[in-house]
Amino acid sequence: MHKMQSKELAVMAKRMYDNVPFYREKFKEIGFEPGDIKSIDQLKDLPFTTKNDLRDNYPFGLFTTPQSNIARIHASSGTTGKPTVVGYTHADLEIWAEVVARSLSMAGIHSGDTIQIAYGYGPFTGGLGLHYGAEKIGATVIPISVGNTKKQLQFMTDFNATVLACTPSYAAHLGESIRSNGISEKDIKLRIGVFGAEPWTNELRCQIEQLIKIKAYDIYGLSEVIGPGVSMECPCHCGNHIFEDHFIPEIINPETLELLPDGEIGELVFTTVSKVAMPLLRYRTRDLTRLCREKCDCGRTLVRMEKCLGRSDDMLIIRGVNIFPSQVESVLMEMSETTPHYQIIVRRENNLDTLEILVEIDEKSWSDSIRELEGIRRRIDQNIKSMLGISAKIRLVEPNSIERWEGKAKRVIDQRK
Ligand code: DLL
Protein backbone atom coordinates (compact mmCIF):
# COMPACT_ATOMS: atom_id res chain seq x y z
CA MET A 1 0.00 0.00 0.00
CA HIS A 2 2.77 2.40 1.03
CA LYS A 3 4.66 1.72 -2.20
CA MET A 4 1.59 2.15 -4.35
CA GLN A 5 0.49 5.35 -2.61
CA SER A 6 4.01 6.79 -2.96
CA LYS A 7 4.13 6.04 -6.66
CA GLU A 8 0.70 7.51 -7.27
CA LEU A 9 1.40 10.60 -5.19
CA ALA A 10 4.47 11.38 -7.30
CA VAL A 11 2.44 11.09 -10.53
CA MET A 12 -0.41 13.14 -9.08
CA ALA A 13 1.89 15.92 -7.84
CA LYS A 14 3.46 16.26 -11.28
CA ARG A 15 0.05 16.39 -12.88
CA MET A 16 -1.00 19.17 -10.54
CA TYR A 17 2.23 21.11 -11.04
CA ASP A 18 2.00 20.91 -14.82
CA ASN A 19 -1.69 21.76 -15.15
CA VAL A 20 -2.93 23.81 -12.19
CA PRO A 21 -1.36 27.26 -11.60
CA PHE A 22 -2.73 27.31 -8.03
CA TYR A 23 -0.78 24.17 -7.07
CA ARG A 24 2.31 25.19 -9.08
CA GLU A 25 2.49 28.39 -7.00
CA LYS A 26 2.02 26.45 -3.78
CA PHE A 27 4.83 24.01 -4.65
CA LYS A 28 7.12 26.86 -5.65
CA GLU A 29 6.46 28.67 -2.36
CA ILE A 30 7.92 25.72 -0.44
CA GLY A 31 10.68 25.13 -2.98
CA PHE A 32 9.36 21.77 -4.20
CA GLU A 33 9.70 20.44 -7.71
CA PRO A 34 7.38 17.52 -8.47
CA GLY A 35 10.40 15.28 -9.04
CA ASP A 36 11.33 15.78 -5.36
CA ILE A 37 8.33 13.76 -4.20
CA LYS A 38 9.36 10.13 -3.81
CA SER A 39 7.35 8.89 -0.84
CA ILE A 40 4.05 9.32 0.89
CA ASP A 41 6.06 10.15 4.03
CA GLN A 42 6.73 13.57 2.46
CA LEU A 43 3.01 14.36 2.44
CA LYS A 44 3.32 16.13 5.80
CA ASP A 45 5.60 18.76 4.21
CA LEU A 46 3.20 19.61 1.39
CA PRO A 47 0.66 22.47 1.44
CA PHE A 48 -3.01 22.15 2.40
CA THR A 49 -6.03 22.86 0.23
CA THR A 50 -9.16 24.42 1.74
CA LYS A 51 -12.74 24.98 0.70
CA ASN A 52 -11.88 28.65 0.14
CA ASP A 53 -9.22 27.60 -2.38
CA LEU A 54 -11.96 25.76 -4.28
CA ARG A 55 -14.18 28.85 -4.17
CA ASP A 56 -11.32 31.15 -5.23
CA ASN A 57 -10.71 28.93 -8.25
CA TYR A 58 -14.40 28.72 -9.19
CA PRO A 59 -15.52 27.04 -11.34
CA PHE A 60 -12.79 24.98 -13.06
CA GLY A 61 -9.50 26.47 -11.80
CA LEU A 62 -8.40 23.29 -10.01
CA PHE A 63 -9.16 20.95 -12.92
CA THR A 64 -6.08 19.31 -14.41
CA THR A 65 -7.77 18.63 -17.70
CA PRO A 66 -9.78 20.65 -20.26
CA GLN A 67 -13.58 20.66 -20.03
CA SER A 68 -13.79 18.43 -23.09
CA ASN A 69 -12.37 15.58 -20.94
CA ILE A 70 -14.81 16.13 -18.10
CA ALA A 71 -17.62 13.59 -18.05
CA ARG A 72 -19.66 15.02 -15.20
CA ILE A 73 -19.84 18.03 -12.90
CA HIS A 74 -21.29 18.00 -9.38
CA ALA A 75 -21.60 20.96 -7.05
CA SER A 76 -22.51 21.51 -3.44
CA SER A 77 -24.49 24.61 -2.67
CA GLY A 78 -22.83 26.31 0.25
CA THR A 79 -25.09 28.39 2.44
CA THR A 80 -23.25 31.50 1.29
CA GLY A 81 -21.33 32.46 -1.81
CA LYS A 82 -20.40 30.33 -4.76
CA PRO A 83 -21.01 26.59 -4.87
CA THR A 84 -18.12 24.16 -4.61
CA VAL A 85 -17.62 22.53 -7.99
CA VAL A 86 -16.14 19.09 -8.62
CA GLY A 87 -15.42 17.44 -11.96
CA TYR A 88 -14.95 13.81 -12.98
CA THR A 89 -13.41 12.17 -16.03
CA HIS A 90 -14.81 8.83 -17.16
CA ALA A 91 -11.95 7.15 -15.27
CA ASP A 92 -12.89 9.09 -12.11
CA LEU A 93 -16.51 7.98 -12.42
CA GLU A 94 -15.24 4.42 -12.67
CA ILE A 95 -13.25 4.81 -9.43
CA TRP A 96 -16.29 6.31 -7.75
CA ALA A 97 -18.57 3.45 -8.81
CA GLU A 98 -15.86 1.03 -7.61
CA VAL A 99 -15.55 2.52 -4.10
CA VAL A 100 -19.33 2.66 -3.67
CA ALA A 101 -19.60 -0.94 -4.91
CA ARG A 102 -16.99 -1.93 -2.33
CA SER A 103 -18.92 -0.02 0.33
CA LEU A 104 -22.19 -1.78 -0.43
CA SER A 105 -20.47 -5.18 -0.51
CA MET A 106 -18.85 -4.39 2.83
CA ALA A 107 -22.35 -4.09 4.34
CA GLY A 108 -23.31 -7.47 2.86
CA ILE A 109 -25.37 -6.05 -0.01
CA HIS A 110 -25.30 -8.13 -3.22
CA SER A 111 -26.79 -8.60 -6.67
CA GLY A 112 -29.98 -10.09 -5.21
CA ASP A 113 -30.80 -6.88 -3.34
CA THR A 114 -33.16 -4.09 -4.37
CA ILE A 115 -31.81 -0.70 -3.29
CA GLN A 116 -34.11 2.23 -2.76
CA ILE A 117 -31.93 5.30 -3.21
CA ALA A 118 -33.58 8.15 -1.32
CA TYR A 119 -30.58 10.48 -1.42
CA GLY A 120 -31.12 13.50 -3.66
CA TYR A 121 -30.31 13.04 -7.34
CA GLY A 122 -28.78 16.13 -8.94
CA PRO A 123 -25.70 18.21 -8.24
CA PHE A 124 -25.55 16.61 -4.73
CA THR A 125 -23.36 13.49 -4.94
CA GLY A 126 -25.56 11.21 -2.79
CA GLY A 127 -28.08 9.98 -5.38
CA LEU A 128 -25.91 9.39 -8.44
CA GLY A 129 -22.97 8.25 -6.29
CA LEU A 130 -24.94 5.42 -4.70
CA HIS A 131 -26.67 4.72 -8.00
CA TYR A 132 -23.64 3.68 -10.05
CA GLY A 133 -22.12 1.67 -7.20
CA ALA A 134 -25.40 -0.21 -6.75
CA GLU A 135 -25.57 -0.94 -10.48
CA LYS A 136 -21.97 -2.12 -10.43
CA ILE A 137 -22.71 -4.86 -7.90
CA GLY A 138 -25.68 -5.92 -10.03
CA ALA A 139 -28.39 -4.92 -7.55
CA THR A 140 -31.82 -3.68 -8.62
CA VAL A 141 -31.96 0.10 -8.23
CA ILE A 142 -34.99 2.20 -7.33
CA PRO A 143 -33.78 5.76 -8.12
CA ILE A 144 -36.58 7.48 -6.22
CA SER A 145 -34.44 10.40 -4.96
CA VAL A 146 -35.34 12.32 -1.83
CA GLY A 147 -38.77 13.32 -0.51
CA ASN A 148 -42.37 12.37 -1.23
CA THR A 149 -42.64 10.09 1.76
CA LYS A 150 -45.93 8.47 0.66
CA LYS A 151 -44.38 7.39 -2.62
CA GLN A 152 -41.27 6.16 -0.79
CA LEU A 153 -43.47 3.86 1.30
CA GLN A 154 -45.44 2.67 -1.72
CA PHE A 155 -42.29 1.82 -3.73
CA MET A 156 -40.63 0.27 -0.70
CA THR A 157 -43.51 -2.16 -0.16
CA ASP A 158 -44.62 -2.77 -3.78
CA PHE A 159 -41.10 -3.21 -5.19
CA ASN A 160 -39.78 -5.25 -2.23
CA ALA A 161 -36.86 -2.95 -1.41
CA THR A 162 -34.30 -4.76 0.74
CA VAL A 163 -31.88 -1.83 1.17
CA LEU A 164 -32.63 1.78 2.03
CA ALA A 165 -30.03 4.47 1.28
CA CYS A 166 -30.70 7.98 2.65
CA THR A 167 -29.66 10.36 5.42
CA PRO A 168 -30.13 8.89 8.92
CA SER A 169 -32.55 11.68 9.83
CA TYR A 170 -34.75 10.83 6.84
CA ALA A 171 -34.48 7.12 7.68
CA ALA A 172 -35.87 7.91 11.13
CA HIS A 173 -38.73 9.83 9.54
CA LEU A 174 -39.47 7.00 7.08
CA GLY A 175 -39.41 4.52 9.96
CA GLU A 176 -42.02 6.53 11.85
CA SER A 177 -44.10 6.94 8.72
CA ILE A 178 -44.15 3.16 8.18
CA ARG A 179 -45.71 2.88 11.62
CA SER A 180 -48.08 5.82 11.40
CA ASN A 181 -49.39 4.62 8.03
CA GLY A 182 -50.20 1.27 9.61
CA ILE A 183 -47.96 -0.68 7.20
CA SER A 184 -47.55 -4.19 8.44
CA GLU A 185 -44.05 -5.46 9.24
CA LYS A 186 -44.49 -8.36 6.84
CA ASP A 187 -44.86 -5.93 3.92
CA ILE A 188 -41.46 -4.38 4.61
CA LYS A 189 -38.56 -6.43 3.25
CA LEU A 190 -35.80 -4.00 4.20
CA ARG A 191 -32.77 -5.64 5.78
CA ILE A 192 -29.97 -3.08 5.48
CA GLY A 193 -29.68 0.73 5.67
CA VAL A 194 -26.83 2.73 4.12
CA PHE A 195 -26.91 6.02 5.96
CA GLY A 196 -24.62 9.03 5.81
CA ALA A 197 -24.12 12.59 4.54
CA GLU A 198 -24.55 13.99 8.07
CA PRO A 199 -23.19 13.20 11.53
CA TRP A 200 -25.19 10.60 13.47
CA THR A 201 -24.55 8.74 16.68
CA ASN A 202 -24.61 5.05 17.57
CA GLU A 203 -27.58 5.83 19.80
CA LEU A 204 -29.54 7.11 16.78
CA ARG A 205 -28.48 3.93 14.96
CA CYS A 206 -30.17 1.86 17.70
CA GLN A 207 -33.36 3.90 17.42
CA ILE A 208 -33.50 3.50 13.63
CA GLU A 209 -32.72 -0.23 13.85
CA GLN A 210 -35.58 -0.67 16.28
CA LEU A 211 -37.97 1.42 14.19
CA ILE A 212 -37.32 -0.34 10.86
CA LYS A 213 -35.84 -3.71 11.94
CA ILE A 214 -32.76 -3.37 9.77
CA LYS A 215 -28.99 -3.32 10.21
CA ALA A 216 -27.81 0.26 9.72
CA TYR A 217 -24.38 1.04 8.23
CA ASP A 218 -22.50 4.32 8.09
CA ILE A 219 -21.26 5.57 4.73
CA TYR A 220 -19.03 8.63 4.66
CA GLY A 221 -17.82 10.90 1.92
CA LEU A 222 -17.63 14.44 0.66
CA SER A 223 -18.11 15.80 -2.81
CA GLU A 224 -14.70 17.48 -2.96
CA VAL A 225 -12.95 14.13 -2.45
CA ILE A 226 -15.34 12.07 -4.65
CA GLY A 227 -18.77 11.85 -2.94
CA PRO A 228 -20.12 8.93 -0.88
CA GLY A 229 -17.73 5.97 -0.73
CA VAL A 230 -14.66 7.56 0.81
CA SER A 231 -15.13 5.22 3.77
CA MET A 232 -17.64 2.63 4.93
CA GLU A 233 -18.51 0.64 8.00
CA CYS A 234 -18.08 -3.14 8.05
CA PRO A 235 -20.25 -5.54 10.08
CA CYS A 236 -17.97 -5.05 13.13
CA HIS A 237 -19.25 -1.47 13.47
CA CYS A 238 -16.00 -0.17 14.88
CA GLY A 239 -15.24 2.70 12.54
CA ASN A 240 -15.36 3.23 8.80
CA HIS A 241 -12.70 1.64 6.60
CA ILE A 242 -11.13 4.28 4.35
CA PHE A 243 -10.36 3.23 0.78
CA GLU A 244 -6.81 4.40 1.21
CA ASP A 245 -5.63 3.14 -2.14
CA HIS A 246 -7.49 6.21 -3.47
CA PHE A 247 -7.86 8.59 -0.53
CA ILE A 248 -4.98 9.03 1.90
CA PRO A 249 -6.09 10.29 5.32
CA GLU A 250 -4.19 12.35 7.87
CA ILE A 251 -5.33 13.91 11.14
CA ILE A 252 -4.13 17.39 12.03
CA ASN A 253 -4.56 19.81 14.85
CA PRO A 254 -6.91 22.39 13.24
CA GLU A 255 -5.29 25.25 15.16
CA THR A 256 -1.58 24.54 14.70
CA LEU A 257 -1.97 22.40 11.53
CA GLU A 258 0.47 19.87 13.03
CA LEU A 259 0.10 16.21 12.12
CA LEU A 260 -1.40 14.23 15.01
CA PRO A 261 -0.57 10.60 15.84
CA ASP A 262 -3.10 7.80 15.25
CA GLY A 263 -5.70 7.65 18.00
CA GLU A 264 -5.86 11.41 18.60
CA ILE A 265 -8.94 13.39 17.61
CA GLY A 266 -8.40 16.16 15.11
CA GLU A 267 -9.36 17.39 11.66
CA LEU A 268 -9.46 14.83 8.89
CA VAL A 269 -7.40 15.70 5.81
CA PHE A 270 -7.48 13.80 2.51
CA THR A 271 -5.12 13.56 -0.44
CA THR A 272 -6.58 11.89 -3.50
CA VAL A 273 -3.95 9.98 -5.47
CA SER A 274 -5.90 8.37 -8.30
CA LYS A 275 -8.50 10.93 -9.35
CA VAL A 276 -7.65 12.71 -12.59
CA ALA A 277 -9.98 15.68 -13.16
CA MET A 278 -9.70 17.33 -9.77
CA PRO A 279 -7.12 15.71 -7.50
CA LEU A 280 -6.78 17.33 -4.09
CA LEU A 281 -3.65 17.78 -2.04
CA ARG A 282 -4.16 17.60 1.74
CA TYR A 283 -7.75 18.79 1.61
CA ARG A 284 -9.01 20.01 4.99
CA THR A 285 -12.44 18.43 5.50
CA ARG A 286 -13.27 20.20 8.80
CA ASP A 287 -14.60 16.82 10.00
CA LEU A 288 -13.36 15.77 13.41
CA THR A 289 -12.42 12.15 14.05
CA ARG A 290 -9.47 9.86 14.79
CA LEU A 291 -7.72 7.05 12.89
CA CYS A 292 -7.05 3.46 13.91
CA ARG A 293 -4.62 1.29 11.92
CA GLU A 294 -5.08 -1.98 13.80
CA LYS A 295 -6.39 -4.89 11.81
CA CYS A 296 -10.15 -5.07 12.15
CA ASP A 297 -11.97 -8.20 13.34
CA CYS A 298 -13.55 -8.39 9.87
CA GLY A 299 -10.06 -9.11 8.51
CA ARG A 300 -9.62 -5.86 6.61
CA THR A 301 -6.42 -3.95 7.14
CA LEU A 302 -7.66 -0.66 5.63
CA VAL A 303 -7.23 2.19 8.10
CA ARG A 304 -10.40 3.08 10.00
CA MET A 305 -11.87 6.45 10.95
CA GLU A 306 -14.10 6.69 14.00
CA LYS A 307 -17.65 7.90 13.52
CA CYS A 308 -17.36 11.66 12.94
CA LEU A 309 -17.83 13.70 16.09
CA GLY A 310 -19.06 16.54 13.87
CA ARG A 311 -17.56 19.33 11.84
CA SER A 312 -15.35 21.91 13.46
CA ASP A 313 -17.75 24.50 11.96
CA ASP A 314 -20.66 22.85 13.83
CA MET A 315 -18.99 23.10 17.20
CA LEU A 316 -20.91 25.46 19.46
CA ILE A 317 -19.06 27.44 22.08
CA ILE A 318 -21.53 28.12 24.86
CA ARG A 319 -20.27 30.11 27.82
CA GLY A 320 -16.78 29.00 26.86
CA VAL A 321 -17.62 25.28 26.70
CA ASN A 322 -17.22 23.40 23.41
CA ILE A 323 -20.31 21.43 22.49
CA PHE A 324 -21.10 19.18 19.56
CA PRO A 325 -24.70 18.47 18.54
CA SER A 326 -23.73 14.76 18.48
CA GLN A 327 -23.20 14.86 22.26
CA VAL A 328 -26.77 16.09 22.75
CA GLU A 329 -28.01 13.42 20.33
CA SER A 330 -26.29 10.60 22.18
CA VAL A 331 -27.98 11.58 25.46
CA LEU A 332 -31.44 11.97 23.93
CA MET A 333 -31.34 8.80 21.83
CA GLU A 334 -30.42 6.69 24.85
CA MET A 335 -33.75 7.50 26.41
CA SER A 336 -36.72 5.34 25.57
CA GLU A 337 -39.24 8.22 25.71
CA THR A 338 -37.72 10.33 22.91
CA THR A 339 -38.16 10.26 19.13
CA PRO A 340 -35.13 10.71 16.83
CA HIS A 341 -36.03 14.40 16.35
CA TYR A 342 -34.70 17.31 18.37
CA GLN A 343 -33.60 20.87 17.93
CA ILE A 344 -30.90 22.92 19.59
CA ILE A 345 -31.44 26.68 19.92
CA VAL A 346 -28.65 28.99 21.00
CA ARG A 347 -29.35 32.57 22.03
CA ARG A 348 -27.51 35.44 23.62
CA GLU A 349 -29.49 37.01 26.45
CA ASN A 350 -27.98 39.88 28.46
CA ASN A 351 -24.56 39.01 27.02
CA LEU A 352 -24.86 35.42 28.18
CA ASP A 353 -25.15 32.42 25.86
CA THR A 354 -28.11 30.19 26.54
CA LEU A 355 -28.83 26.74 25.23
CA GLU A 356 -32.33 25.42 24.74
CA ILE A 357 -33.03 21.87 23.62
CA LEU A 358 -36.41 20.94 22.18
CA VAL A 359 -36.97 17.24 22.77
CA GLU A 360 -39.76 15.44 20.99
CA ILE A 361 -41.51 12.84 23.13
CA ASP A 362 -42.92 9.71 21.53
CA GLU A 363 -46.61 8.85 21.35
CA LYS A 364 -46.56 6.27 24.16
CA SER A 365 -44.77 8.52 26.67
CA TRP A 366 -46.66 11.73 25.86
CA SER A 367 -48.98 12.19 28.79
CA ASP A 368 -51.54 14.52 30.37
CA SER A 369 -49.81 14.06 33.68
CA ILE A 370 -47.50 16.94 34.51
CA ARG A 371 -45.77 14.77 37.08
CA GLU A 372 -44.79 12.17 34.46
CA LEU A 373 -43.58 14.72 31.91
CA GLU A 374 -41.67 16.64 34.55
CA GLY A 375 -39.96 13.40 35.58
CA ILE A 376 -38.76 12.83 32.02
CA ARG A 377 -37.66 16.44 31.66
CA ARG A 378 -35.67 16.30 34.86
CA ARG A 379 -33.85 13.13 33.83
CA ILE A 380 -32.92 14.64 30.46
CA ASP A 381 -31.79 17.79 32.24
CA GLN A 382 -29.44 15.81 34.52
CA ASN A 383 -28.04 13.64 31.72
CA ILE A 384 -27.40 16.65 29.47
CA LYS A 385 -25.68 18.48 32.29
CA SER A 386 -23.38 15.59 33.03
CA MET A 387 -22.56 15.09 29.31
CA LEU A 388 -21.99 18.74 28.41
CA GLY A 389 -20.79 20.16 31.69
CA ILE A 390 -23.24 23.05 31.42
CA SER A 391 -26.97 23.23 31.91
CA ALA A 392 -29.52 23.69 29.17
CA LYS A 393 -33.17 24.58 29.18
CA ILE A 394 -35.01 21.39 28.23
CA ARG A 395 -38.40 21.85 26.58
CA LEU A 396 -40.47 18.73 25.89
CA VAL A 397 -42.59 18.98 22.78
CA GLU A 398 -45.38 16.75 21.56
CA PRO A 399 -45.02 13.92 19.02
CA ASN A 400 -44.58 15.02 15.37
CA SER A 401 -44.05 18.67 16.22
CA ILE A 402 -40.40 19.05 15.17
CA GLU A 403 -39.70 19.65 11.49
CA ARG A 404 -38.64 16.55 9.49
CA TRP A 405 -35.83 16.75 6.97
CA GLU A 406 -35.60 14.84 3.73
CA GLY A 407 -31.91 15.57 3.13
CA LYS A 408 -29.38 16.72 5.68
CA ALA A 409 -31.09 17.69 8.94
CA LYS A 410 -30.65 21.20 10.36
CA ARG A 411 -30.75 20.60 14.05
CA VAL A 412 -29.08 23.74 15.35
CA ILE A 413 -30.51 27.24 15.27
CA ASP A 414 -27.86 29.68 16.40
CA GLN A 415 -29.62 32.98 16.93
CA ARG A 416 -26.40 34.69 18.02
CA LYS A 417 -25.32 34.98 14.38
O1 DLL B 1 -22.66 14.35 1.90
C2 DLL B 1 -21.60 12.87 0.32
C3 DLL B 1 -22.39 11.73 0.85
C4 DLL B 1 -23.59 11.41 0.26
C5 DLL B 1 -21.90 10.95 1.89
C6 DLL B 1 -24.33 10.31 0.71
C7 DLL B 1 -22.62 9.85 2.35
C8 DLL B 1 -23.83 9.56 1.77
P9 DLL B 1 -21.23 16.73 0.83
O10 DLL B 1 -22.60 17.25 0.57
O11 DLL B 1 -20.08 17.36 0.13
O12 DLL B 1 -21.12 15.22 0.46
O13 DLL B 1 -21.01 16.81 2.39
C14 DLL B 1 -19.86 16.30 2.98
O15 DLL B 1 -21.04 15.77 5.02
O16 DLL B 1 -17.58 16.66 5.12
C17 DLL B 1 -19.27 15.58 6.54
O18 DLL B 1 -19.26 16.77 7.30
C19 DLL B 1 -20.70 15.18 6.28
N20 DLL B 1 -20.81 13.71 6.18
C21 DLL B 1 -20.89 12.95 5.09
N22 DLL B 1 -21.03 11.64 5.44
C23 DLL B 1 -21.01 11.60 6.79
C24 DLL B 1 -21.10 10.57 7.76
C25 DLL B 1 -21.88 14.21 1.00
N26 DLL B 1 -21.27 9.30 7.44
C27 DLL B 1 -19.91 16.46 4.48
N28 DLL B 1 -21.00 10.92 9.07
C29 DLL B 1 -18.71 15.83 5.15
C30 DLL B 1 -20.82 12.20 9.43
C31 DLL B 1 -20.85 12.93 7.27
N32 DLL B 1 -20.76 13.21 8.58
Q: What is the pLDDT of residues 38-49, one digit of tens each?
A: 999 999 999 999
What lines the ligand 1 site, CB under 6 Å? 76, 119, 124-126, 129, 196-199, 218-223, 227-228, 285, 287, 308, 311
With 0-12 / 13-18 / 19 or more C-beta atoms within 10 angstroms meaning exposed / middle / buried, residue 210 is: exposed
* Ligand 1 atom having least distance to the Cα of 194: 8
Q: How far is the CA of 232 from the centre of ligand 1 (A)?
A: 12
Q: Point out the ligand 1 atom lying closest to the alpha carbon of residue 199.
A: 30
Which of the 8 DSSP states describes residue 83?
A: P
Residue 351 predicted with pLDDT over 90: no
Distance between first and last Cα of the chain: 46
Predicted structure pTM score: 0.95
Query: Quick check: 172 and 133 in contact, CB under 8 A?
Result: no
Residues of the chain with pLDDT > 90, as a percent, come to 95
Query: Looking at ligand 1, which residue's alpha carbon is closest to its atom 9?
Result: 222
Whose C-alpha lies nearest to ligand 1, atom 6? 126
Q: Give the mean pLDDT of the chain.
A: 96
Choosing from 237, 287, 289, 306 the residue with most ligand 1 atoms within 8 A of its CB, the one to mutate for a pocket test is 287
- What spacing in Å lies between the alpha carbon of 337 and ligand 1's midpoint? 29
Least confident of 43-57, 75-89, 115-129, 194-208: 75-89
Q: Is 81's pLDDT higher than 80?
A: no
Question: What one-character DSSP code corresponds to residue 306?
Answer: P
Distance 358 CA to ligand 1 centre (A): 25
Is the pLDDT reported for residue 415 higher than 60? yes
156 has a pLDDT exceeding 90: yes
- Spatial distance between the Cα atoms of 264 and 22, rounded to a whole number of angstroms: 31
Q: 325-333 and 370-388 are packed helices; what angle lies between their axes, rounded to 10 degrees?
A: 140
Instruction: Quickly list H helices, 20-70.
Output: 21-29, 51-56
Q: For residues 88 and 70, is the Cβ–Cβ distance under 8 A?
A: yes
Q: Whose CA is nearest to atom 30 of ligand 1?
A: 199
Q: Mean per-residue pLDDT for 204-229?
A: 97
Q: Give Dmax over CA atoms of the chain in angstroms.
A: 74
CA of 220 to the centre of ligand 1 (A): 5
% of the chain surpassing 70 pLDDT: 99
What spacing in Å lies between the alpha carbon of 249 and ligand 1's midpoint? 15
* Residues 6+ away with beta carbon under 8 Å from 66: none
Tell whether the model's pLDDT for residue 80 goes beyond 80.
Answer: no
pLDDT of 78 reads: 65
Shortest-distance atom of ligand 1 to CA 286: 16
- Residue closest via CA to ligand 1's atom 14 equals 222
- Chain segment 230-244, per-residue pLDDT in tens: 999 999 999 999 999
Binned at pLDDT 50, 70 and 90, residue 2 comes out as: very high
Mean pLDDT of 354-361: 97
Give residue 221 CA to ligand 1 midpoint distance, Å: 5
Q: Counting atoms of ligand 1 from 1, which one is nearest the CA of 218?
A: 26
Q: Whose CA is nearest to atom 12 of ligand 1?
A: 222
Give the residue whose CA is nearest to atom 21 of ligand 1: 197
Tell me the DSSP string of 167-229. Answer: -HHHHHHHHHHHHHTT--GGG----EEEEESS---HHHHHHHHHHH-SEEEEEEEETTTTEEE
Distance (angstroms) between ligand 1 centre and the Cα of 391 equals: 30
**Index of the ligand 1 atom closest to the CA of residue 287:** 18
* 226 Cα: distance to centroid of ligand 1 (angstroms): 11
What is the structure's pLDDT at 82? 83
> How far does residue 75's CA lie from ligand 1's centre (Å)?
13
Mode of pairing for the β-strands spanning 412-414 and 338-349:
parallel
Q: What's the CA-to-centroid distance between 252 and ligand 1, angstroms?
A: 19
